[in-house]
Amino acid sequence: MRMRIGRYAVVLAVVLALTAVCSSARVRAFPPLFTASVVSPKTVGWTSYRQLNRLPELTSGVAAAQFASTDPQGANRDYWDGPQHCLSLLLGQCVIAAHAGAGEIDGIWFTWNGGDVRGIGNISIVLDGQLVVHAPLQDVVDGKLGAPFAYPLVGNASQSSGGVYIHVPMPFRFAMLVTTDSSSFYYHVTYRTFADAAGVSTFNPHDPASDVLNTMRAAGARDPKPPIPGARTVGGAVNLAPGGTAELADVHGPGSLTAIRLRLPQTTQVSASEVTAGGRAFGHGGSSTFTMRIDPHNNGIRLTRRFDPEVTRQSAEVVVDGAAIGRWAPNQPPASPSGAYSVRASSQGQWQQESIDIPAALTRGKSALTITNRFISSDQDFNEFTYWVDDWIAGKLQRTDLLQIADTASESAHDYHIVGQTWRGERTFDYPLGSDELSALARSRKLLDGLRLRITFDGETTVDSPVGEFFGSGFGLVPVRSLMFGIDPDSHTFSAWWPMPYASHVAVQLYNGSSMPVSGAHADVTTAPDPGAAAALTSGRIGYFHSSSHAGPTVPNQDWEYLRANGTGKFVGNVSDMIGPDNRSYLEGNERVHVDGAPTPQVDGTGTEDYYEGGWYFNRGPFNTPLHGNTAHLTAVTGCAPSSDCTAALRLWLADAVPFQNSILVGIQHGGIDETPATYSSTAFWYGRGNVHW
């Protein structure tokens, strides 16, 4: 990384010893979670992604933890808004993470101001007394520092739908410190602690890790693991009646299942018309004014406004060239005072559009109109995203001008001004699907939920999951491009590359629990011999692969559990399909991870979309990155139930896998305090030996 290390770095290095030993009482110190006296070799730094075949290893002497802006009172105020919240203050900087001892920072996430993190200023990361990052956070997540801080190892709010993240693994031998200029934001820093520094080298920001970046950029398209000699693929056609089971592979001898590929041509990709737009809002006493071009030969014009209808009872007076002509009133459009024109409101998905027809007497012969909207009423404020003008010319409407709010060039060109602004941001909403599209989507969802992948290792079935969730989303044939699995809608192909060891036998089956026959499908299963697998599994050095799935309604005052298991292992990720109220309040829920019976969670988050490393209810819509994503979003007009919202999301914990020696509970709230009724279906991925309890 190209940076100047000056007096700031020297001062930080001098005081690091005091800060890193957590001298401030505000800095949490987690006790070691390991119980083994002998520490196993561990994957550190880039090795975690270069040697993904080592994922089944059950390393002792490693613990996972997280610093976050979680409400300390357990309510829903999961953000910082001043220096009083910082773990401590250091030379005017807000300390957000500090640890004494060996370990590794594996993930950093922030959001603020709809995903615009420029106000946070610089982020500084000190490892073992070395300043390895000191730059504006916005520059870091925009990739301006260069490799290894490049997409998709870092991402901004456009790439991660409202959140920003850093997934560069940064090991340290004796201390780490992370600070920011500002102290107002949502954030989490996920890290691991090591029992000792054996095999740990301090992170080198000058190593571009080009091979890891290339692997990440191919996520969802190819196996990210190193090739294994002797690997063999068996495949064939799959035709299944409802209730039937097909055997995809049956292999004997010690080895590892390395890849599964299904082609389901019966699934259909259905994509809603999605629009992302910037907008502003004004409140009581406020207004907006702008100029729109029109054709002088018009026979009247139609002015249309795109807005967010989640804010109800919005109304504003419309003034054209100084004359009041009517009102925007989306909930109950009134008749015009003169009767010379009409006001119409039409709901189109989550976006709503409203038009007002202005008669030729007010527009003919003019080449431009000055339009002012004056606040009348709203349950919150009056928002506006896009305006456009269509002129009546020879009996037909012709588009003559468009104003995009919050776009600097467009606002300047239309002399846009706002008074009493209450909000500026961005929204991504859909327009409705047609009946044929809705039917095709429903069929795909039904099949992806009813088909189940079942895998038995050495006589024990540890995988029994809906096909959709196992490969990334049960809400239709949608793009999924994660590092360990993916869905390619163009080829109707579902792929997974988890390393899955077995001592003597593996059997892979596909069960059709849907009411639809499966025809024309194809499956490929790749396995590789591994003479050492039996001894490694027997000794507990590696664990069996599990995908633990369940579905049902949420319970008031209880977290939804992704995984509750007794035994030894490590949690490496999950996929969740969530259905909740259309205001998306269920996404207020925080993740909470308890390891080995600890009453205090090792991981305690700030929100569901934050856990999946987006922000603001995924305000840029669905997205994919190698380690997290919001793979699908459906509303009542795009395939979800009436008055409901459907969200599919994934999160992988690979470098930052959460180990446990006796038990683990990974859960998430539904709503800010588990108060929002919802229906969830989830699949947790983990390695080890143990029993799952729901």
Tell whether omega for the bond before 152 is within 30 degrees of 0, i.e. cis: yes
Joined tokens for residue 130? 């070395």
Q: Considering only CA atoms, which of 276, 102, 275 is closest in space to residue 200?
A: 102
Q: Which residues, at least 6 apart from 511, have a Cβ–Cβ distance to it below 8 Å?
A: 244, 245, 451, 452, 454
Averaged in consecutive runs of 10 residues, what is the pLDDT profile of the chain (694 residues)? 36 42 40 34 94 95 96 92 96 97 98 96 98 98 98 98 98 98 98 96 98 98 95 96 97 98 96 87 98 97 92 94 90 39 44 91 96 96 97 95 97 98 89 91 97 98 98 96 98 98 98 96 97 96 97 97 97 98 95 96 97 95 97 93 95 97 97 96 96 78
Residue 302, both tokens? 């139609």
Asked if 133 contacts 140 with a C-beta cutoff of 8 angstroms, the reply is yes
Instruction: Judge contact between 542 and 689, C-beta under 8 A.
Output: no
Fold entry, domain 273-431: Jelly Rolls (2.60.120)
Task: Report d(CA 683, CA 681) in Å as an integer.
Answer: 7
496 vs 284: CA distance, rounded Å: 54
DSSP tag of 334:
P
Tokens of 450: 């009813």
Contact 376, 315 (CB under 8 A): yes
Burial bucket for residue 113 (CB in 10 Å: 0-12, 13-18, 19+): middle
Which residues pair with residue 267 across a beta bridge?
none
DSSP secondary structure letter of residue 53: G
Beta bridge partners of 289: 372, 417
pLDDT confidence of residue 158: 95
Instruction: Measure the CA angle with vertex 87, ends 81 and 92; round to 5°.
Output: 75
Nearest partner of 653 among 170, 52, 179, judged by Cα: 52
Within 516-559, strands assigned E span 518-529, 544-553
Classified as helix, coil or strand, 379 is coil
Structural domain spans, the chain: 7-212, 273-431
Q: What is the CA radius of gyration of the chain?
A: 28
Report which of 673, 666, 656, 670 is spatially closest to residue 165, judged by C-alpha positions. Answer: 656
Peptide bond into 148 cis (omega under 30): yes
Are 622 and 609 within 8 A, CB to CB?
A: no
Question: How many Å apart are CA 249 and CA 508, to the nearest integer?
Answer: 5
Q: Which residues pair with 693 in a beta bridge?
A: none
Residue 330 has a pLDDT of 65
3-class DSSP assignment, residue 558 = coil
Q: How far apart are CA 672 and CA 678, in angstroms?
A: 13
CB atoms within 10 A of CB 515: 10
Cβ neighbours, 10 Å, residue 694: 8
How many CB atoms lie under 10 A from the CB of residue 568? 22
Cβ partners under 8 Å of residue 456, min gap 6: 462, 505, 506, 507, 509
- Closest Cα partner for 408 from 282, 275, 286, 278? 278
Burial class (CB in 10 A: 0-12, 13-18, 19+), 332: exposed
DSSP-derived secondary structure for 74-115: SSS--SEESGGGSSEEETTEEEEEEEESSEEEEEEEEE-GGG
Alpha-carbon distance of 661 to 648, in angstroms, equals: 30
Q: Between β-strands 301-307 and 351-358, what pairing exists: parallel, antiparallel or unpaired?
A: antiparallel
Question: CB neighbours of 489 closer than 8 A, spacing ≥ 6?
Answer: 269, 477, 478, 479
Q: What CATH fold (topology level) applies to the domain 7-212? A: Jelly Rolls (2.60.120)
Owner of token pair 């504006």: 136
Per residue, the 3-state secondary structure of 625-674, as one string, reads: CCCEEEEEEECCCCCCCCCEEEEEEEEECCCCCEEECCEEEEEECCCCCC
Report yes or no: 196 and 94 within 8 Å, Cβ to Cβ: no
| 273-431 has the same fold as 7-212 | yes
Cβ atoms of 664 and 671 within 8 Å: the answer is no
pLDDT of residue 351: 82
